[in-house]
């Protein structure tokens, strides 16, 4: 059988594959958050932006994951079950392996004193809960651009 021109050139077999319309980001973000609903919300919004997400629900586990996985950014809750996010941040910022990783505090602790403590502990930015998604995405982008 001899193959000739396609009978229906407008069909899918004659149509070139469409180009991807978006770039997949390769940055990895570690979310240290013990509240399941808060984590799921952050997860969905950050995945939708193309980020790869790592997760820890406890501070010590988050410290260990940061050391082993070397994420590009950490989103840190302040109230964690085993060690506070402030103490975890202090330890990460004192460690040569992790001190250059930006840490964004995302917390329900929203007083000006809480914000000052977060920044003093080494957090590079502070976002109160409930999270304004636009603010979160702009903050993340500012560190990963």
**Contact call for residues 125 and 137 (beta carbons, < 8 A):** no
User: Which pLDDT score, from 0 to 100, does residue 114 have?
Assistant: 86
User: Which pLDDT score, from 0 to 100, does residue 17 have?
Assistant: 43
User: Which pLDDT score, from 0 to 100, does residue 13 have?
Assistant: 46
32 within domain boundaries: yes
| CATH label of the domain that carries residue 84 | 3.40.50.2300
108 within domain boundaries: yes
95 within domain boundaries: yes
- In the chain, the number of structural domains is 1
User: Which structural domain, as residue segments, surrounds residue 119?
Assistant: 25-144
DSSP 126: E
111 within domain boundaries: yes
**Contact call for residues 101 and 57 (beta carbons, < 8 A):** no
30 within domain boundaries: yes
Cis peptide leading into residue 130 (ω within 30°): yes
89 within domain boundaries: yes
From first to last of its 145 residues, the chain has per-residue pLDDT tens of 555 554 544 444 444 444 444 454 479 999 999 999 999 999 999 999 999 999 999 999 999 999 999 999 999 999 999 999 999 999 999 999 999 999 999 988 778 898 899 999 999 999 998 999 999 999 999 999 8
129 within domain boundaries: yes
Cβ neighbours for 62, distance < 8 A, ≥ 6 positions apart: 30, 32, 56, 74, 76, 80, 88
82 within domain boundaries: yes
């Amino acid at each position: 059988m001899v193959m000739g021109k396609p009978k229906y050139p407008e069909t899918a077999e004659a149509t070139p594959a469409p180009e991807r319309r978006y770039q997949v980001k390769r940055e990895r973000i570690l979310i240290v958050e013990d509240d399941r609903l808060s984590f799921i919300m952050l997860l969905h919004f950050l995945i939708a932006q193309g980020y790869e997400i790592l997760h820890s629900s406890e501070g010590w586990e988050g410290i260990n994951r940061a050391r082993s996985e070397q994420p590009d950014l950490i989103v840190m809750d302040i109230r964690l079950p085993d060690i506070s996010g402030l103490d975890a941040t202090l330890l990460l910022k004192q460690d040569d392996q992790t001190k250059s990783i930006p840490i964004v505090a995302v917390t329900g602790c929203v007083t000006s004193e809480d914000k000052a403590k977060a920044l003093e502990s080494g957090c590079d930015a502070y976002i109160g809960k409930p999270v304004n998604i636009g603010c979160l995405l702009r903050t993340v982008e500012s560190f990963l651009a």
